[in-house]
Structure 1
C-alpha cells in the first residue's frame, strides 16, 4: 500500500467518533490477525472503497467496515452482496449476529462480539474464490 493510501485510510479512522473508532480498529485488527493465520496467496491490502476502510486480497472477496451517523449506536462489517457469504453466515450464525439483509453483520456499541465466529466469517471471505464452489463454502 502506498504512503498516500495509508494516510487516507488513517485519516478515515481518525474521522470516526472516538468510541466507534476503537470498535472499528478492533475489527481491523481482527481482519489482519485472521489474514496472518490462514494460507492466502497474497497479503491483505487495506484501502478505501466508497470512503469505507476495505480489505482486499487476491482470491478473496472484499471486506468493508464502517459507521454511519444516521445510526450512531451501530457499526458494521460488510461483504460482497453478490456472493454466498452472508447467506452462509446466516445459516451458521443466525443466533449469534444481526444481519443487514445480504450486505453484512451489524453490531451495536454495547455488543460483546463473538470473536471466534466473526473470525470464521472473515476467513471465509478472504478465501472466497477458492471455496465458493463448495456446499456451504466447505464448512
Structure 2
C-alpha cells in the first residue's frame, strides 16, 4: 500500500477502516478476476484512489463531518453513476448526484451490486461506448 494511503487509512476510526479495507480488497479481487493488471493506489483530493490501466479510478473515503457514512466515489465526468442508477432502481444503493454511492456504517454492503459497479469502473475505457456499459 502506498505510504500516503496507509497513513490515511491509519487515521480512520477502526470501524471505518474495516469497511474501507473491505472495499479496497474487493477492488483488488475484481482486478484479478477480470485480469485488469496491477492496481495502483494514491491519494486524489485527499481520498484513497485505486485504478488500473484503462480503468476509471475508484475513490473511497469517510469524512468526520458525516461520521455515520462512508462513500465510494466515481469520476463524475463518466456515465458510471448514471448507469448504476439505471441498473439498480431497487433502492439497494444510495447515490449522491453523479459521483458516488453512499453507505451508512450500519448498512450491510449489497455485495453483488457493489462488485458490479466497481467492475464497470475498472473496465470503463474499454466499455464506455457500449449501451449501459455492456451490463
* TM-score, length of structure 1 as denominator length: 0.93
Structure 2 unmatched runs, 5+: none
Q: Equivalent of 1:21, from 8, 17, 21?
A: 17
CA-based RMSD of the aligned residues comes to 1.0
Shift of 1:85: 0.2
Secondary structure in structure 2 of the residue aligned to 1:107: strand
Rounded to whole Å, the distance in 2 between the matches of 1:25 and 1:39 is 21
Q: Equivalent of 1:75, from 51, 70, 79?
A: 70
**TM-superposition CA deviations, 1:52-89 (whole Å, max 9, x none):** 11011111101000001111000000000010000010
Q: 4+ residue stretches of structure 1 with deviation over 3 A?
A: none
Partner of 1:54: 49
Say whether the 8 Å CA contact 2:31–2:52 is kept in structure 1: no
Secondary structure in structure 2 of the residue aligned to 1:76: strand
Shift of 1:39: 2.9
Partner of 1:114: 110
Q: Equivalent of 2:82, from 87, 90, 115?
A: 87
Shift of 1:93: 1.4
Rounded to whole Å, the distance in 2 between the matches of 1:117 and 1:24 is 16
In the alignment, structure 1 residue 7 sits paired with structure 2 residue 16: no
- How many aligned positions are there? 134
Rounded to whole Å, the distance in 1 between the matches of 2:66 and 2:9 is 17
Shift of 1:8: 1.2
* TM-score, length of structure 2 as denominator length: 0.95
Secondary structure in structure 1 of the residue aligned to 2:4: helix
Rounded to whole Å, the distance in 2 between the matches of 1:89 and 1:103 is 11
Structure 1 unmatched runs, 5+: none
